Amino acid sequence: MDKHILITGGAGYIGSHVVKLFGEYGKKMVILDNLSTGVKKNILYGDLVVGDVGCEDDLNVVFSKYDIGAVIHFAGSISVPESVENPLKYYHNNTANTLTLVKKCVELNVNNFIFSSTAATYGLGEGRPLDEDDLQKPINPYGQSKLMIEKILRDVSNAHSEFKHIALRYFNVAGADIEGKIGQSTPDATHLIKIASQVALGKRLELSIFGDDYNTPDGTCIRDYIHVMDLAQAHVDALDYLIKEKKSNYMNCGYSKGFSVKEVVSEVKNTLQLDFPVKIAPRRDGDPDLLVSKCEKIKKLTGWKPRYNDLSLMIKTAYEWEKKIS
């Protein structure tokens, strides 16, 4: 595709890694980001337009200046606990702003759309690995806001036959660029491995485990962790599939293996050969016991082949990045 790819939220954690990978493949990109949480220096390729995805004037600037052939949409709010405390923020930043973007795409006949969705749409899950056809019943406003977007995209694709989309449902993203050029740069991020790295470096006093009475073997939540560079490759492969096959779809992104919070903390200490204080804190609202993926679909349809399925590697790259920005 010779046209530009519009990447919203491309200065953020996942978006910046996707920008890096597309840049290495020689793709033309424009990044739209308001830099409220994103970091400008983490954008290694493409043109940056500072603006808001929910502002039609900002969208008009981008779409008038660049010939856009596809959109990869990351921009939005991502904290489950915050969404419980401030749901209106999530329905505005995620659902309403995406509606504005999708409307503009339909208006201008931009028909390839990749959406950054989440395993949180599955809610409590089924106590087993989940595939794309499992029930989606979110238990927090973050997951609900993302599911609403999936429904919007499905309805728009049904109403406008040329408009096609793929929703990538991320499980727990971790790690940093293998080459150490970029990483998770938001100081108050809620990602477990980043927080553990900060505690190990003395940037935080202690690590809190939120609840140890879940219905899991050790009482702490179990999650499926995926290296951010494998997730970035999933976006490259998904866009190739979308352009070639012209079919909308929904795909999980994970490794189909779960680790409990206590297991991750233990692995961080083992990998780094460091000890740090850990305390048990009350549960957070909106956290299910277990979220683990089945990912056969994305592998079969797009040819996605993970290269970094190694919890220790996720920890090492996250820690090295955290040390670099200290």
Amino acid at 233: Q
For residue 248, tell me if it sits in a domain.
yes
User: What's the domain range around 292?
Assistant: 192-224+256-324
Give yes or no: residues 20 and 86 share one domain: yes
> Where does a domain end: 206, 238, 253?
253
Give yes or no: residues 162 and 89 share one domain: yes
Give yes or no: residues 142 and 28 share one domain: yes
Give yes or no: residues 205 and 164 share one domain: no
Residue whose entry in the numeric block shows the structure tokens 């492969």: 237
For residue 187, tell me if it sits in a domain.
no
pLDDT digits (tens, 9 = 90+) for 257-288: 999 999 999 999 999 999 999 999 999 877 88
Tell me the H-state helices in 27-140.
56-65, 80-85, 87-90, 97-108
CATH number of the domain encompassing residue 85: 3.40.50.720
Give yes or no: residues 197 and 271 share one domain: yes
Give yes or no: residues 22 and 119 share one domain: yes
Question: Is 142 marked active-site?
Answer: yes
Give yes or no: residues 165 and 278 share one domain: no
Give yes or no: residues 99 and 237 share one domain: yes
For residue 178, tell me if it sits in a domain.
no
For residue 201, tell me if it sits in a domain.
yes
Whole-number pLDDT of residue 110: 98
Extract the tokens encoding 94. Answer: 């995620």
The DSSP bridge partners found for residue 250 are 167
Residue 191, SS3 per DSSP: coil
pTM: 0.97
Give yes or no: residues 159 and 276 share one domain: no
Q: Which helix (H) or strand (E) holds 57?
A: helix 56-65
CATH number of the domain encompassing residue 198: 3.90.25.10
Choose the catalytic residue: 13, 142, 225, 250. Answer: 142
For residue 184, tell me if it sits in a domain.
no
Whole-number pLDDT of residue 76: 96
Counting as low any pLDDT under 50, the low residues of the chain are none
Handedness of CA 308, 314, 319, 325 (dihedral sign): positive
For residue 162, tell me if it sits in a domain.
yes
Give yes or no: residues 151 and 85 share one domain: yes
∠ CA 7-196-264, nearest 5°, is 95
Characterize the bridge pairing of strands 172-174 and 222-227.
parallel
CA distances from 235 to 169, 170, 212, 270 (A): 11, 11, 35, 32
For residue 34, tell me if it sits in a domain.
yes
Give yes or no: residues 299 and 243 share one domain: no
Amino acid at 30: V
Structurally, how many domains does the chain consist of?
A: 2
Give yes or no: residues 14 and 153 share one domain: yes
pLDDT > 70 fraction of the chain, expressed in percent and rounded: 100
For residue 161, tell me if it sits in a domain.
yes
Q: What is the DSSP letter of 182?
A: -
